[in-house]
A and B are shown apart, each in its own frame.
Chain A
């Protein structure tokens, strides 16, 4: 009798816990991030992630029932072929970050789901020193006020997560050489 009870209660408990976890995630998502000066331990106010047009939410296509996930490590051939993955060792692949069963989220190493809106939590797993610097404002582009509100960006606003190395830019023009600074109408030289 007790064994039966235990067997029935456990999945129920698990289901409850999962549900709770789910709500916890969504609660985190909707929790209003505080201003920088009262930054809570985890959250930072950032703009929306720079999704490609029409790509989100992923669950539009990736319904676990309609399209069961194929968790085999491979190079994608059917879709998302425009993405070339150059992130770390060759053994890295999509589902290391993207959650197989919950495509509208990413996941940490321990399986915990992370929203795209707070993807820095995922990046910070491996790049902890960058995350620490970023929280304080020492890593990444900074706009705003030095004594007030500052704007932060997501890691992905500057680093394409699939190919994160900061891309070279075309430099703006060099200064004019002093020899070339002359009076216009070619007078006394």
Chain B
């Protein structure tokens, strides 16, 4: 049972790998753990009192948690922005780093799961949603579809990442015949997770703001134009702190693809706005609340415009080759587009969909302290998952940490801070 022994060594060595590092690493992990504890504490309060500690009420029954969930599903789907050029166009510079996109997808999906768990009123009944064990209302409920595809995508990514790292660890070549189809499969799967999530909103005739045919294309466009932004920043960090070689052209290529998707995203947003504001039916009220305020309630307005302006600036920065290939403007653009889509797919999607509510009432929703604390905890958890995966994965990818060099590789020099 060599495989079993090797695999158990893989696990134990990985654990050792992620629990040893430089001072920067420890400080970062400590910070994340602190934030997680902070979020957990807030969540315990929520468990005790109920969702009353949030600012969600009957009128606006989904809020910050689901907004973050929606945004993070997009980030998870964005991994394929690396897969497409790498595998479809067989572009070597990116092929080596697709695994990083998949690890990002895993972290994002962990956060998605976290946000769903904290949002439901009865987390103790979570097993009700499992097929066979509970009762999954498939195929009627879009949420049932979402549960299935999200978990399938998580399993797929987790399998591919584990397999590739295990092969690297045991100094073996991965079986292309196994990996390539799975990675190619991740493309329609990534599209499916975000389409399912979009359909969740899209299928509700009761919410005209969401009940628009282009919601699914908008979701995909905004996911693809923003998700890779975090990867671009990460790749630059990894280049500087590890021996991972990532060519400039790989980064710029991803940025170029993002520019086109940004343009498409802006076009779809414009199309949606035109349809509502020009036709001027009563369904316009949701857009009005978002962009201009309604009956004196203007809470969302500055955020909505910030999102649009940041998106436009980022688009231009990414589109123009000069600014795209300049590291300063590129990184500014990354931050801007991430912020823009975070607002657009988060609060900028959920709240206008529910305000005014089904009976025309306006309840101004702002996340409560508990919601923000719990969200911070979940984001910290996602970052933690991503960090420890990278901590083990990068040395494995570089061939520094393998089964034969296992013991040596597990004790890095003092000053080396692996991110």
Chains A and B touch (C-beta atoms under 8 A apart): yes
Is the pair A178, B53 in contact by a Cβ cutoff of 8 Å? no
Is the pair B42, A181 in contact by a Cβ cutoff of 8 Å? no
Is the pair B363, A187 in contact by a Cβ cutoff of 8 Å? no
B121 contacts A by Cβ under 8 Å: no
B368 contacts A by Cβ under 8 Å: yes
A182: B residues at CB distance < 8 A: 52
A78 contacts B by Cβ under 8 Å: no
Is the pair B45, A188 in contact by a Cβ cutoff of 8 Å? yes
Specify which of A178, A179, A182 lies most central, judged by the most chain B CB atoms within 10 Å of its CB: A178
B52: A residues at CB distance < 8 A: 181-183
Is the pair A178, B370 in contact by a Cβ cutoff of 8 Å? no
Is the pair A188, B368 in contact by a Cβ cutoff of 8 Å? yes
Known: A183-B52, A188-B42, A188-B45. A178 touches B368 (CB 8 A): no
Q: How many residues of B contact A (CB 8 A)?
A: 15
Chain B min CB distance to A29 (Å): 50
Is the pair B57, A178 in contact by a Cβ cutoff of 8 Å? yes
A179: B residues at CB distance < 8 A: 363-364
1/0 per position for A163-183, CB-CB distance to B under 8 A?
000000000000000110111
Known: A188-B368, A188-B369, A189-B369. A178 touches B45 (CB 8 A): no
Chain B min CB distance to A182 (Å): 8
1/0 per position for A128-168, CB-CB distance to B under 8 A?
00000000000000000000000000000000000000000
Closest to A188 in B: B370
A189 to B60 Cα, complex, angstroms: 16
B369: A residues at CB distance < 8 A: 188-189
B212 contacts A by Cβ under 8 Å: no
A59 to B369 Cα, complex, angstroms: 76
Is the pair A187, B57 in contact by a Cβ cutoff of 8 Å? no
Closest to A178 in B: B57
Is the pair B57, A181 in contact by a Cβ cutoff of 8 Å? yes
Main DSSP-derived SS at the A contact region: loop
Closest to A179 in B: B363
Within 8 A of B (CB), among A65-124: none
A187 to B52 Cα, complex, angstroms: 10
Is the pair A178, B363 in contact by a Cβ cutoff of 8 Å? yes
Q: How many residues of A contact B (CB 8 A)?
A: 8
Chain A min CB distance to B377 (Å): 14
Is the pair B58, A187 in contact by a Cβ cutoff of 8 Å? no
Closest to B56 in A: A178
A188 to B368 Cα, complex, angstroms: 7
A51 to B60 Cα, complex, angstroms: 52
Within 8 A of A (CB), among B36-66: 42, 45, 49, 52-53, 57-60
Chain A min CB distance to B363 (Å): 5
A188: B residues at CB distance < 8 A: 42, 45, 53, 368-370, 373
A181 to B60 Cα, complex, angstroms: 13
Known: A181-B52, A183-B52. A189 touches B59 (CB 8 A): no
Chain A min CB distance to B132 (Å): 38
A183: B residues at CB distance < 8 A: 49, 52-53
B364: A residues at CB distance < 8 A: 179
Within 8 A of A (CB), among B43-98: 45, 49, 52-53, 57-60
B60: A residues at CB distance < 8 A: 178
Is the pair A187, B49 in contact by a Cβ cutoff of 8 Å? yes
1/0 per position for B365-392, CB-CB distance to A under 8 A?
0001110010000000000000000000
Closest to B46 in A: A188
A182 to B45 Cα, complex, angstroms: 14
A187: B residues at CB distance < 8 A: 45, 49, 53
Within 8 A of A (CB), among B323-376: 363-364, 368-370, 373
Chain B min CB distance to A186 (Å): 11
B53: A residues at CB distance < 8 A: 183, 187-188
1/0 per position for B216-240, CB-CB distance to A under 8 A?
0000000000000000000000000
Within 8 A of A (CB), among B11-59: 42, 45, 49, 52-53, 57-59
B373: A residues at CB distance < 8 A: 188
Within 8 A of A (CB), among B174-222: none
Chain A min CB distance to B302 (Å): 21
Chain B min CB distance to A188 (Å): 4
Of the A-B pairs whose beta carbons lie under 8 Å apart in the complex, a sample of 17, sorted by A's number, is A178-B57, A178-B58, A178-B59, A179-B363, A179-B364, A181-B52, A182-B52, A183-B53, A187-B45, A187-B53, A188-B42, A188-B45, A188-B368, A188-B369, A188-B370, A188-B373, A189-B369
Task: Give the A-binding residues of B (Cβ under 8 A).
Answer: 42, 45, 49, 52-53, 57-60, 363-364, 368-370, 373
Given A183-B49, A188-B368: 7 more A-B contacts, CB < 8 Å: A178-B58, A179-B364, A183-B52, A187-B49, A187-B53, A188-B369, A189-B368
In the A-B complex, list the 6 residue pairs whose CB atoms are closest, starting with the nearest. Answer: A178-B57, A188-B370, A178-B363, A188-B53, A188-B369, A183-B52
